[in-house]
Amino acid sequence: YVVGEHGDTSVALWSSVRVGGVPMLQPGQAPSDLHRAMHREVVDSAGDVIRRKGYTNWAVGLTGAYIAKSVVKDQRNIYPVSTCVRGMHGITEDVFLSIPCSLGAHGIRRVVNVPMTEQEVGEFLRSAETVWKVQEGIWDSI
């Protein structure tokens, strides 16, 4: 999964990646430069698509359709969606970040607690802080 905000401070949870049931990283192994480059390419890809065709609507539309189907049919599929992460890893503010959640007829049925390494938790907290800095002034005005 990729968690956090949708962009520069998103966090690739390499420690949770399995290929054929085999962990991509061994316990305690840090992501390599190749892993970081792959994540950077994903983060930068929206800008590349926009430069080439002017918009990114196909992926957004397809994702919206999958989410809608999961809700309408109460499928309880797991998707990374934005929800309040107050309480996760010591976050005290009402910050909304993308994390894996089971979606059904009543919306988010549960948050899936994907284990994170210390490094991933640190990056997740930095993502939360980045989003909080953008939104904190809004809470005082509502």
Residues labelled as active-site residues: 6
Q: Which residues are within 8 A (CB) of 86 and not within 5 positions of it... i.e. 6 or more apart?
A: 92, 93, 94, 95
Give the residue among 138, 136, 72, 55 at the shortest CA–CA distance from 106.
72
Q: How far apart are CA 80 and CA 58, in angstroms?
A: 18
- Which pair of structure tokens corresponds to residue 95? 């910050």
